[in-house]
Structure 1
Amino acid sequence: MLLDVEHRFAFGYDAYISESFLELRVQPKTTADQTVSSFVLAVGPPTRVHRYVDWNDNVTHHFTITRFHDRIEVASRSVVSTHPAPRAIAALGETVPADDLPYGLLDFLALGGPVQLTPALRAAHKAAAPPRAVSLGEHVLALGRYLASRFEYQKDVTRYDSTTEHFLKLEAGVCQDFAHLMLGLLRLSGIPCRYVSGYLHVERTRREASQSHAWIEFWAPSHGWIPFDPTHDRAIDERYVVVGHGRHYDDVPPNKGIYRGIARETLHAEVHTQVSAATALPHLTSETRPIPLQTFREAPVRRPDRTGLPIEDEQQQQQQQ
């Protein structure tokens, strides 16, 4: 499937800020299951955009704006050909946990960040984990069934910085929460696993905004990394587009940043996906473009009622839903 993915952010400030720094992970990566044909990133106010590849091979863009401004806009557009190989999870017959894991997988067995080792997580693992004699594939599917039966998909009850403890208490959340809890349960079973940030294409009768998506991959000695979507309790298909991998959300947030100024910030983010009518290109084309938003050498007249706000603050981040 050839997919066209558009991802937009708009940061608004109720007073002019003097400086901002923003880091983005929105460029899909070419993997065995997908090929990126083109990627365009537009940023405003116009500034120089830098790019590097992080320790998980995720493409990361970042930029700084050092003149007064009260709005930042970012728009990315990708064309991705998805061609996932079929994988029968139930047929994975390896034992759990596997013996002699490669050293590089140890990071993906550790608990930390939003995946918190607490009595509640241990209790959930005790309730969810099947007998040890069960194969790797059946073990993963049993944990998926547990999440599907116990937890409800519900927006606006958790935040981008919510933890497994919050999700276990509320028993409701979004894909980011389902992914984190699945990671915690798998790691307590000794199964290496990692967080996947990306997009899920859903057919719609009209153009309607959605958000980025999250799922997991677990390690099978016979096959390597195998994806699974705990929010929908299923293996992935050609509708899924991978942007990045990490130990958890904190490694691969779509946006992360900081700004300097006494101002309140609002964030609006949306994703649009559609089947593309374009022809897939044999080689990746990538470019950056400016969005014409104005900046000022000196701050215009400051709006009133700025008392009690910090001079420097973190930017809001997009929760994956």
Structure 2
Amino acid sequence: MEWRAVSVADVDALAELLGRDEEATVGRRESGPAEARSMLAAPGLDLPSRTWTASGPDGGLLGFAALQPAPQPGELRAQLVVAPSPDAPAVTATLLDRLDVWAAHDLPTPDTPVTLYQLPGCFPHDQLLSRGWTVVDSSSRLTVNLDAIRLPEHPAPAVRAARNETDLRTVHSVLNEAFTDDPEHPHPDFDAFHHAQRRREGYNPDLWLLAELDSVPAGALIARDPADRAWIAWFGVHPAHRRHGLGAQLLTAAFSLLRARGHRTVGVDVDTHNTGAMQAYTSAGMTLLGAADQWRRTYV
């Protein structure tokens, strides 16, 4: 085996690795080059020093690991992909060793958690458990075929796109209010939040949407549109303004904008236990593709 850091030239190989892992775990391939590019473009990820891959004699990737800042301030997010092969146990062990070394260096404090998402029944499952990782939550992926749903000809009057930086800041503020009770999503500083968003593939301020109720900002949505997929990155309605249909209006407005930009599908990842968000997405025509377990480890 050859061990080395990943590079942007490995997008297709990483996409193939993701596909092999998904095919073995859930019976179908869901990821492609867009997902691989998104992984390598994660904010704060230093490819030369915080990624590691194993490749076989044919040059194909057998495994991949990375460590980067998590969206939650002060936390770290790991990535781990291992496809079934005779070398998979050894590949998994070496990649987990590398994650341990990186975490020991990068953790702000020993009790800072590191999170990792894995498909249920993933190959590394037993090794993760043996090293102190535990499953703490679940995330669901939903998608919608924009050609299969009926969208309004004109946007709802309550929804408009952000026009300037003041509106971008308002979007951020509304999302903060929408996620007040969710410790996984604290983003108190607009400049840091906006910097992270600009680094994501498909960043487009024209897809930052505001919903207003009686001229008061009440809901917000941020979409992204890389060339070969579209994504709902952030979506929320202020708790005081829910049950007025604003969430549905935001989603249909985003779907219409994305379809006009040439997209045919839109995806989103959401906390499986967030029943309100799940209902909002499914009511708007999105369907469940599958779920991933959220693993966590602290090193104290």
Q: TM-score, normalized by length of structure 1? A: 0.29
Q: Which has the larger radius of gyration?
A: 1
Higher strand share: 1
